Structure 1
Amino acid sequence: MRRRCAGRAAAGAGALLIAACGTGGMVTAAGQFGAPLGAAVAAGTRPDPPAVPTSTTLATPTPTPALSAAPPAQAPPSLTQAQIHGAVARLDGVIRATMARTGVPGLSVAVVHKDRTLYLKGYGVRRVGDPRPVGPDTVFQLASVSKPLASTVVAGVVGGKTVAWDDPVVKHDPEFALKDPWVSRHVTLADLFAHRSGLPDHAGDLLEDLGYGRPYIIARLRYEPLAPFRASYAYTNFGLTAAAEAVAKARGVTWEELSARVLYRPLGMTSTSSLFDDYANAPDRASLHVKVNGHWEAKGSRDPQAQSPAGGASSTARDMVSWMRLQLGDGKVGGRTVIDQAALEQTHLPQIVSAPPRAPFGEAGFYGLGWNVGYDDLGRLRLNHSGGFDLGAATTVTLLPTEGLGIVVLTNGEPLGVPEAVAETFFDIAQHSRQTVDWLPLIGGLFAKMDQAGRSTLDYARPPPDATQRHPADAYTGTYDNPYYGPMQVLSTPDGLVMRLGPKGTAFPLRHYDGDTFSYPTQGENAVGLSGVRFTVREARRATAVTVEHLNQNGLGTFTRR
């Protein structure tokens, strides 16, 4: 399945690597920062699970390990003021060149160094065909950059002693459950924020595409097959969302209100929200854009409210400056403590190997609590996350805490590697006083390859020349049940068979392919073009079951006739 989502994780100096989602892949190149490029650069491929568990990835279910209160020793700062200012001076040219090469409609960028804003500027337009410009206060959807914001919120609650990172989720949400009862009792907030619960990659996302809301999706996580607990990494928007929901319940408020109380209001992030309606109603907002036949179009919207903690926040470059200052200032902004330092530092520690080394002397990629965590060739901690909606947004944030340096890049175009290329070029110039790699085609090429991931191996647009439909339409019509996806209706209409799914009965037209197999156009953030629908017809010449290929990644896509 193609996954732009919002962040993936991986890394490896001296090699070009990509790993799966984390809606965060990381890319590194020999001779560069050697650090992970966090990333929406992810798609349907998954990193191999670590062969040997590390100190933060337990091979067998044991009590949650205590998290260290202090990060490992780090290299001292190595960038001079002149290097950083030189990179900032060239950033305008980098951005304009990147926009010229891609045509991305709008972009907003901020750079922070040692509690000071060095760069804050918008480019392009909010919507194609509309001359209103993007500025520092234009609101963008953050996609998976919402995750490090969410872990900051939880760190604030941890600092207030209401919850602890190693609290079992059921302590605050007794109804939460996964398929294994032991795991259900022991999985912690940290396990879900680090994507090490055993849930499969992007568990629950297809339910969101069908229109289900947060409570339904979280309740259905108990049907998902589990990989080894705390010994495998798989990026899950709704696993993280479930943990955030538990924290909100512990405080007796909604997640959206908790985010505002703990983080947005104290930091003066007046244009930041975890409510989609606030983004949709913002007068100065960037519309989503996709590329159609080489041209950018504002075709629709993406309501990520169901996964708000993982992908539903919206913000501006100006507001993100305040948050980057908080991260780089150990929980303080302007000398004022907003988030407890010890609780925040825990989010910056490696919690799970997200991508094991793929080459001799290669470096592993790690995921922390809502962050891709890596260490570059100079031993510097590097925090990163990217976000992306296939329906039209791409974002990234990268911090070098020992340098006190951070950059955020927000765009209103589908993920093509634009924000990652701008950020990597900036760090490249800062480190080497020149650009040593043309990052845009490098990262863009990886996105292009991933764009094809997860598509069916059958070309449903071209039925076999001798294709025949084995049974009349009424053999397939009826109502079918599925405990995970809910009921499905198959109806006969003048235009042919139609499949209806989801709480709103979304209609998917079925086109005959061959035998008892039909195709349908997938929809939503995780759409992969045409996919298959295969009916099982027994002796009575009436279908008893139907399997939907696109919904069957985890073996949950078979519906049984009612």
Structure 2
Amino acid sequence: MRQAFPRFATVALAGCAGVALLTAADTRKPATEWLARPAEASRVARVEAGLAPATLPGEEPLQMSLQRWMELYKIPGLSIAVFEKNTLVWAKTYGVKQAGSSEPVTVDTLFQAASISKPVTALAALRYAEQGKWSLDANLNEKLVSWKVPDNELTKERKVTLRRVLSHTSGLTVHGFPGYAVNEPRPTVPQLLEGQKPANTEPVRVDLTPGSETRYSGGGLTVLQLMMEDQLGKPFPRIMKEAVLEPLGLKDSTFEQPLPAGLAARTAAGTRASGEGVEGRWHVYPEMAAAGLWTTPSDLARIAIEVSKAKAGTSKRVLSQAMTKQMLSKQSEGYGLGFELHEGTDRFGHGGWNDGYTSTLIAFADSGSGVAIMANSDNGPLLFERIAASTAEEYGWKSFTHRLQSPLMRVDLLARIRGGEAVVAWYEGMRAEGQRLPPPLLTKIAYGLLLSGKHGDAVKVLEAQIKYFPEDAEAHDSLGEGYSKGGRKQEAIASYKKALALDPRNSNAVKMLEQLGAKP
């Protein structure tokens, strides 16, 4: 899946539902399961009732239940865990394991954690660094055996190191991975890194000077995965089980890819933005360090609790206090070692998006508090924001900030409920009034419409974006997709060529032009 948005802030629109959906009586009683201290029951109810309302330009805010929000976003199932003072205080689930089914999500239902795999991998890598197996700042090529990072002019003086991989400053390419259908052949890790078939991603290479720039790289974590296997002589899932999962008692977590048949019955099935299920229920990710963790919100909460306790010096089941403090200290723009950080606060965490699954972990190191949320849907993050904001309000997490009033969040609702023409009209009205709006706003909204299958609406929005920002390469690329899906081949070719002219590194445009029978 081509990732149009930074980190986990996806805008995966599930289609423009009618207003009747928003105003109908909330009669459906979704299956739920929850575990909590008895004293938490009223707080759980307040979190559910405190979700920020839906707001549309010129209309009164509309309060909706969590179930109605799930319907709006076409999210079949949701699982939440909240922790306070280093204790899991409640976990609750909503909806079903698979779209169209009646089997409820339970607190031990497994979801793909996607990129939250990265900071969990970091815990293992740092644990072995403390044991002297490798160094944070040595050249990783010195520890790689079955494959080496190809050196070039950029690596003459500055090398790819563990610290740089974990802080996303390694200079290595490949942002994320689409995974493989369950019946597809899968590459070995060296094949992945070389971009050799059956790999479906480009080769992992250094194209920025290591240490010079922060750029998210799942490719870097895949290099780390291979190095760990080379040095420890064990399969990666076993390494992670021994280093992190077993010491923390995480009985509902595994890095095994593909998932063993015995665990399949406990999984939620992935669902795309349109509400369509992922073929075969899920994709398989041989890029295990970057995207391979299957888990529950409760186990993610336990991981965060351990990190908080290790920082305070009250536990060292995985890392020492000194190493944990280093892990949670700023290493690059927005990152420590594995975790995303929020400067000026004790907040750490990560988000994840695999095909059909989204997740978030938000934690506060000093108080041992936070929330983990997982969904079997591409549409999860916008609902996560509401749930996290309501939870933070109930539990008094002062350093939590949300984006509910951002233009992106507000226009997402407008697009979802009123459609592409309404978005364009609103945008042009705001410009006429002299309002300053983020330049990529329409591109992000339009890409969400593309993901949801609303190609006509997406084209309208993208044509407006290009009218005002003709040099937006991403908009031209997405417009090419919209035209192609609508059967407008020649216009699609022209758009992809324009995207490539504006951004010669756009491999997607090259691939799509080839598929359309045109020369790049």
Please tell me the TM-score bracket, short chain as reference. 0.5 to 0.7
Q: What corresponds to 2:56 in structure 1?
A: none
Question: Is 1:199 aligned with 2:172?
Answer: yes
Partners in 1 of 2:488 and 2:401 — Cα distance? 52
Q: What corresponds to 1:240 in structure 2?
A: 221
- Normalization by structure 2: what TM-score? 0.65
- Residue deviations 1:53-74 (CA, integer Å, cap 9, x gap): xxxxxxxxxxxxxxxxxxxxxx
SS at match of 2:372: strand
Question: What are the residue-to-residue correspondences of 1:126-525 with 2, within 5 Å?
Answer: 126-174=97-145, 175-178=147-150, 180=152, 183=155, 186-200=159-173, 202=175, 205=177, 212-220=187-195, 224=205, 226-278=207-259, 281-292=263-274, 296-300=275-279, 301-330=281-310, 337-353=317-333, 366-375=334-343, 379-389=344-354, 391-416=355-380, 417-431=382-396, 439=404, 444-445=409-410, 449=442, 450=444, 452-453=446-447, 454=474, 456=477, 459=480, 513-514=489-490
| TM-aligned CA deviation for residue 145 of structure 1 | 1.2
Partners in 1 of 2:327 and 2:231 — Cα distance? 20
Tell me if the contact between 2:173 and 2:219 (Cα under 8 Å) persists in the aligned partners: no
| TM-aligned CA deviation for residue 268 of structure 1 | 1.6
Partners in 2 of 1:106 and 1:273 — Cα distance? 20
Tell me if the contact between 2:170 and 2:206 (Cα under 8 Å) persists in the aligned partners: no
User: CA distance change for structure 1 residues 302 and 333 in 2, over 3 Å: closer, same or farther?
Assistant: farther
Aligned residues: percent identity?
20
Greater helix content: 2
Structure 1: stretches of 5+ with no match in the other structure: 5-19, 25-38, 44-83, 354-365, 464-508, 520-529, 535-546
Q: What letter is aligned with 2:327?
A: T
Partners in 2 of 1:192 and 1:422 — Cα distance? 31
SS at match of 2:243: helix
Tell me if the contact between 1:179 and 1:222 (Cα under 8 Å) persists in the aligned partners: no
Partners in 1 of 2:508 and 2:192 — Cα distance? 17
Greater strand content: 1
| TM-aligned CA deviation for residue 551 of structure 1 | 5.6
| TM-aligned CA deviation for residue 216 of structure 1 | 1.5
User: CA distance change for structure 1 residues 120 and 319 in 2, over 3 Å: closer, same or farther?
Assistant: same
Partners in 2 of 1:313 and 1:109 — Cα distance? 17
SS at match of 2:446: coil
Partners in 2 of 1:297 and 1:194 — Cα distance? 35
Partners in 1 of 2:67 and 2:405 — Cα distance? 11
Q: What letter is aligned with 1:176?
A: K
User: CA distance change for structure 1 residues 151 and 138 in 2, over 3 Å: closer, same or farther?
Assistant: same
Partners in 1 of 2:319 and 2:300 — Cα distance? 16
User: CA distance change for structure 1 residues 432 and 350 in 2, over 3 Å: closer, same or farther?
Assistant: closer
- Residue deviations 1:273-307 (CA, integer Å, cap 9, x gap): 11233276432211111243xxx332424424232
Tell me if the contact between 1:142 and 1:312 (Cα under 8 Å) persists in the aligned partners: yes
User: CA distance change for structure 1 residues 177 and 140 in 2, over 3 Å: closer, same or farther?
Assistant: same
- Normalization by structure 1: what TM-score? 0.61
| TM-aligned CA deviation for residue 94 of structure 1 | 4.6
SS at match of 2:259: helix
User: CA distance change for structure 1 residues 273 and 443 in 2, over 3 Å: closer, same or farther?
Assistant: farther
Superposed CA RMSD: 4.3
Tell me if the contact between 1:88 and 1:118 (Cα under 8 Å) persists in the aligned partners: no
Partners in 2 of 1:90 and 1:119 — Cα distance? 13
| TM-aligned CA deviation for residue 158 of structure 1 | 1.8
- Residue deviations 1:433-467 (CA, integer Å, cap 9, x gap): 9x99783886645777525354626557769xxxx
Q: What corresponds to 1:478 in structure 2?
A: none
